[in-house]
Homo-oligomer: A and B are copies of this chain.
Amino acid sequence: MKTTTTKHWLWSLPVVALLGLLSYGCSSNGELGSSAEAAQQVYVAPGEHDEFYGFFSGGYNGQLGVYGLPSGRHLFTIPVFSQAAVNGYGYSEETKAMFQTTDGFVPWGDAHHPELSQTNGETDGRWVFINENNTPRIARIGLDDFKTQEIIEIPNSAGNHASSFVTPNTEYVSAATRFSIPMDEEDLSNMDVSIDTYKENFKGTISFIKVNEEGKMNIDFQIMMPGFNYDLSHAGKGPSDGWSFFTSYNSEQANTLLEINASKNDKDFIAAINWEKAAEYAREGEGKVIPGKHYRNYIDHEEGGIAKSELIEEVRVLDPRELEGLVYFLPTPKSPHGVDVDPTGQYIVAGGKLSTVIPVHSFAKMEEAIANENFEGEVMGIPVLNYDSILHGEVQNPGLGPLHTEFDGNGYAYTTAFISSEIVKWDIEKTEVVDRIDVYYSPGHLMIPGGDSQNPDGKYLVALNKITKDRYLPTGPEMFHSAQLIDISGDKMKLLLDFPTEGEPHYAQGITADKVIKEQKRYYDLSENGHPRATTSEKQTRVERDGNEVHVYMTTIRSHFTPDNIEGIKVGDEVYFHVTNLEQDWDVPHGFAIKGANNAELLIMPGETLTLKWEPKKVGVFPFYCTDFCSALHQEMSGYIRVSPANSSTEITYGTGQ
């Protein structure tokens, strides 16, 4: 199999040259209104609040960034798929289970597409979902406390990219394999076969994860698919509610040098999935239930917020070769990336990254073509519809490398052009470009608050640019990615602000602040703390030995720990500090750190209990202290623990006495 090739190099030269020219040619600031006016528009005076929350994927940092708009200020980062030193997420005993997978403890994830929950096709401010691409998972974050509540693993998948898009009433979040893998037809298990048997053996799956009223997720069914690469998705809405659309590339089914070999076909496919029918099939017991081990990890609020892992053994699989009307293929030029459904639900827009047009499919025409069986062929039992019969129109001159589209609710669509570094505004009915603006540089996704829902808020657009270069003071070879805020309230787009974003924001979602639930928590109610090792008053604090395990039941309140002097610990012990923060007020966390801990500190919110495991390896007296400057006497908030030799006979003593 060992060969080398240089062909791809020559092939990609024009693209590289174009990219270079276009990126560097744009030295002006584009369509910037009066700078003074822009300054006013983005300024949020001290004491005032931003109008919108922006939830930005952290990409390869695995987390979810929270930004205020229009200021572009980085308000918070919610730890999701990666360990977070900042608060001990993924290090503390209570949170470790969030990273349980069938591959073991996976402390990192590649976060991609945040998606707000919806009711009646509108964002409702209950939850944000976000997918993990590398070890296929979907997380649900609660907007009551801005914490990750649940992470579910997706079996029979590799590369969970076309995820986590929701249906209009959050009935489902969907997921699909970006990378097909060899699957045994019987049980979809990953097979030990040669990679060059790709065309014969490799398959994909598309998964629908049911979301119940409390937000609990479970995989309702998976649909077996041809071995393409499934890239992005969006659910239908209005007339197209009940359907979901998934782009695919590599319909060539190449397994090597995809930059050349998966770029050959003039058209790849959008898979139109009738999820309503699929759900009906599933309810009726169609398809087959096969082994499909996967974990569902969740915060158990009944037990004081401890993360639990549940192993689920099986999954239901539907096969389009056996079940009619499940999937149709919409031919779409060329290597399509994004697929977006307009607010009316009538039009399905693809961003064909190597295409010279933006194709717009008509849902009504698609239904008609299905009814008339206007098929060009089929792949793995899936009918391929006739391109011309389903086309609403093609947007000409859309910029080079069109990727993603969002909508303003006023009849216009906005598409990012990666290679020509611009955003193109076009009329959906007429499929005609009406405005364009340069962005810096190479936008991937873009975001309009509600811009992929039935009710967009067409005031601002955020371009999520993949290349930063000279936009900010330089920070060496590595830098944050860059976003740009654009005013889309008038006929002409106006560039307002550049703001950096942590990690790689693939996609973002925005929502007016007043829609985020008003019952947001400011602290946890101590009287509802169900943690089995909580100490909800100083009187309950104690230190207990159980063999070589020592449990320290500790409290924090401004500005002391109870107990703050502990003796009788021995080298070789496993010491568990169960620290309860007794505060019942907003913004009074306490931290807990001790020298030599081979994990992180704890950052304990008011009313919460967290546990740090410490294995002392040396004799001596070790201080512990509060890591969060909590009060005027924060520096005094500390204590000591004495560690004696393993064979010492010192008994446990503890206290706060003088």
Interface residue ranges of A192-241 to B (CB < 8 Å): 192-196, 202, 229, 231
- Whether B61 contacts A86 by the Cβ 8 Å rule is yes
Q: In the assembly, what is the distance between CA of A503 and CA of B603, in Å?
A: 11
Query: Distance in Å from the Cβ of A351 to the closest Cβ of chain B?
Result: 11
- Whether A192 contacts B60 by the Cβ 8 Å rule is no
Q: Does A191 contact B (CB under 8 A)?
A: yes
A68-B472, A472-B73 as given contacts; A601 in contact with B466, CB under 8 Å: no
- Whether B521 contacts A477 by the Cβ 8 Å rule is yes
Q: In the assembly, what is the distance between CA of A5 and CA of B131, in Å?
A: 50
Stretch at the interface among A100-108, A325-333, A388-396, A422-430: A100-108
Interface residues on A, range: 35 or more
- Whether A46 contacts B477 by the Cβ 8 Å rule is no
Residue of B nearest to A589 (CB): B478
Interface residue ranges of A470-498 to B (CB < 8 Å): 471-480, 484, 495-498
- Whether A134 contacts B594 by the Cβ 8 Å rule is yes
Counting every copy of the chain, the complex holds 2
A477-B522, A477-B524 as given contacts; A58 in contact with B86, CB under 8 Å: yes
Q: Which residues of B contact A524 (CB under 8 A)?
A: 477
Q: Which residues of B contact A108 (CB under 8 A)?
A: 85, 88, 91, 597, 599-601
- Whether B50 contacts A43 by the Cβ 8 Å rule is no
Q: Which of B83, B145, B513 contacts A476 (CB 8 A)?
A: B145
Q: In the assembly, what is the distance between CA of A468 and CA of B257, in Å?
A: 51
- Whether A472 contacts B49 by the Cβ 8 Å rule is yes
- Whether B12 contacts A558 by the Cβ 8 Å rule is yes
Interface residue ranges of A487-527 to B (CB < 8 Å): 495-500, 502-504, 506, 513, 516, 520-524
Query: Distance in Å from the Cβ of A503 to the closest Cβ of chain B?
Result: 5
Q: Does A560 contact B (CB under 8 A)?
A: yes
- Whether B628 contacts A190 by the Cβ 8 Å rule is no
Q: Which of B103, B503, B595 contacts A134 (CB 8 A)?
A: B595
Q: Does A574 contact B (CB under 8 A)?
A: no
Q: In the assembly, what is the distance between CA of A146 and CA of B257, in Å?
A: 34
- Whether B259 contacts A495 by the Cβ 8 Å rule is no
- Whether A601 contacts B106 by the Cβ 8 Å rule is no
Q: Flag A239-255 by CB within 8 Å of B: 1 or 0 each.
A: 00000000001100011
Given contacts A134-B593, A202-B621, 12 further A-B contacts (CB under 8 A): A15-B631, A60-B86, A62-B85, A66-B475, A108-B599, A108-B600, A158-B623, A181-B623, A195-B621, A256-B657, A258-B638, A477-B605
Give the 9 A-B CB pairs with smallest separation, nearest first: A190-B620, A3-B657, A82-B85, A39-B43, A146-B476, A103-B596, A179-B623, A108-B600, A258-B636
Please name 16 pairs of A and B residues whose Cβ atoms are closer than 8 Å in the assembled complex, sorted by A: A4-B655, A19-B632, A32-B45, A46-B471, A74-B74, A75-B472, A110-B627, A134-B594, A134-B597, A192-B648, A256-B639, A257-B656, A258-B560, A258-B636, A468-B587, A479-B587
